[in-house]
Chain A
Amino acid sequence: MGPLAINEIISENTNLFLAFIIGIGFGFVLEQSGFSSSRKLAGVFYGYDTVVLKVFFTAAITAMLGLLFFSLFGWIDLNLVYVNPTYLTSAIVGGIIMGAGFIMGGYCPGTSFCGASIGKLDAFVFIGGLFLGVFIFGIGYDLWDGMYLAKFLGSPKISTTLGLTDGVFAFLLIIIALAMFWVAEWAEKKFPIEEY
């Protein structure tokens, strides 16, 4: 039956409305988990607070298990679920820029709006930088469109690249995630926050 919008069980507008509701819920949960604090977010890079890693990895695993079980029960057709196309060069370059901005600014794009919604000034500065970056990218598109569109791989999945079934890969990812949680907890004890 799913995806609901693609199979025309709900209209495109209902779909957008649901996205709006889910977006508000997502923002609320982010704020409540303390993701509106840039010190907490940057903590993952210094080891004193790894809640970002834990929250997002848990979210990914939950969604992954949910989709795989839904597919198993025939509730969703995974072939119809949109997968972002991979442009390898821009994925790597974009990842480095995003990571550097994350360390320096203490926010990622979503959490910066969380911070702004409760009036954090650094979040507003971050959003200003975000729009500036979008603007520069757009203005200079001709300069880097070659790199931007380089190494197009389609929409590959790691599981098919490794020759595993989705289920086996999911299980391996769960083990990796739990191991990372353990390392993260260890790091939090090893590098406690330094209060100034």
Chain B
Amino acid sequence: MKPHTLLALFIIPMGLIIAAVPQNKTKPYKLTAEELLGEVNTRTQYVTPDAVADMIIKKDPSLRLIDVRSQDEFEKFSLPGAINIPVTDLLSDAYSDILNQDIKMNIFYSDGTLTANEAWMITRQLGYNNNFVLEGGLNYWYDTILNPQKPASTSPEEEFAKYDFRKSAGQALWGGVTMQTTQGQSAASAKPVIKPAAKKKKAAGGC
């Protein structure tokens, strides 16, 4: 048989098959169940409120806060610079460029973490990178940044540093009051309390 005939006999049926079958338009999920479980278990999607507050204050251009609650809730209260993508509209074409990109760090937040996690899981399964979840949601944000609890006087220094940061972050973001630290105060009044904390830290390092 001539090679031309052979080619034609092979390629025409192949063409007929490909013309007859429906086009594969499924969007394949990019992660297997095990991979996703692994990511969920290691909690890679979470960003702490402290890290987010730090980025907002430093005006980090890579940060993009995405409020996945409804529009009403978004209008009542939202984090500075946040945009609103209600989770019900997550798959709308208008938002795909925002969610599927590799330049900005998208951080989803909702009241708790449930809705934000739903948004994260869907986008993650679509293979989108750079989407994260605000740890604890707005409720935890309120407890940490807006209304931080002063640590017990026996706490290690880092707790105080964290408290100072949160207090000043809260003020910088909403208070408009000049930043205050307890470090200055502690130098005068709480000095003896901090000393045992330093010891404790050393002991912890020894382990």
Instruction: For the complex, give the distance between the alpha carbons of A77 and B25 in Å.
Output: 9
Whether a CB of chain B sits under 8 angstroms from the CB of A139 is no
Please name 26 pairs of A and B residues whose Cβ atoms are closer than 8 Å in the assembled complex, sorted by A. A7-B30, A61-B11, A65-B11, A65-B14, A65-B18, A69-B18, A72-B18, A74-B26, A77-B27, A77-B28, A165-B23, A166-B18, A166-B23, A167-B18, A167-B23, A168-B19, A170-B15, A170-B18, A171-B16, A171-B19, A174-B11, A174-B14, A174-B15, A175-B12, A178-B11, A178-B12
How many residues of chain A have a CB within 8 Å of chain B?
21
Which chain A residues numbered 128 to 166 have a C-beta less than 8 Å away from chain B? 165-166
- The minimal Cβ–Cβ distance linking B49 to chain A, given in whole angstroms, is 30
Contacting residue for B15 out of A58, A165, A171, CB 8 A: A171
Given the complex, which residues of B lie within 8 Å of A52, measured CB to CB? none
- The minimal Cβ–Cβ distance linking B123 to chain A, given in whole angstroms, is 16
Interface size range on B against A: 10 to 19
Contacting residue for B21 out of A61, A167, A174, CB 8 A: A167
Which chain B residues numbered 74 to 102 have a C-beta less than 8 Å away from chain A? none
| 0 or 1 for each of B6-46: is its CB under 8 Å from A? (1 = yes) | 01100110111011110110111010000000000000000
| 0 or 1 for each of A25-68: is its CB under 8 Å from B? (1 = yes) | 00000000000000000000000000000000010010001001
Instruction: For the complex, give the distance between the alpha carbons of A167 and B21 in Å.
Output: 8
Whether a CB of chain A sits under 8 angstroms from the CB of B4 is yes
Whether a CB of chain A sits under 8 angstroms from the CB of B127 is yes
Given the complex, which residues of B lie within 8 Å of A72, measured CB to CB? 18, 21, 24
Instruction: For the complex, give the distance between the alpha carbons of A158 and B19 in Å.
Output: 15
| 0 or 1 for each of B134-158: is its CB under 8 Å from A? (1 = yes) | 0000000000000000000000000
- The minimal Cβ–Cβ distance linking B20 to chain A, given in whole angstroms, is 7
Given the complex, which residues of A lie within 8 Å of B4, measured CB to CB? 181, 185
Whether a CB of chain B sits under 8 angstroms from the CB of A71 is yes
Instruction: For the complex, give the distance between the alpha carbons of A165 and B16 in Å.
Output: 13
Which chain A residues numbered 100 to 117 have a C-beta less than 8 Å away from chain B? none
Given the complex, which residues of B lie within 8 Å of A174, measured CB to CB? 11-12, 14-15
State the A residues within 8 Å of B (CB).
Answer: 7, 58, 61, 65, 68-69, 71-72, 74, 77, 165-168, 170-171, 174-175, 178, 181, 185
Instruction: For the complex, give the distance between the alpha carbons of A168 and B23 in Å.
Output: 10
Given the complex, which residues of A lie within 8 Å of B19, measured CB to CB? 165, 167-168, 170-171
Residue of B nearest to A72 (CB): B24
Contacting residue for B20 out of A61, A74, A167, CB 8 A: A167
- The minimal Cβ–Cβ distance linking B100 to chain A, given in whole angstroms, is 11
- The minimal Cβ–Cβ distance linking A63 to chain B, given in whole angstroms, is 12
Given the complex, which residues of A lie within 8 Å of B12, measured CB to CB? 174-175, 178
User: Quick one: which of A74, A168, A170, A171 has the most chain B CB within 10 A?
Assistant: A171
Given the complex, which residues of B lie within 8 Å of A166, measured CB to CB? 18, 23
Instruction: For the complex, give the distance between the alpha carbons of A77 and B29 in Å.
Output: 11
Given the complex, which residues of B lie within 8 Å of A61, measured CB to CB? 11
- On whether A65 and B7 interact (CB within 8 A), knowing A71-B24, A165-B23, A166-B23, the answer reads no
Given the complex, which residues of A lie within 8 Å of B14, measured CB to CB? 65, 69, 174
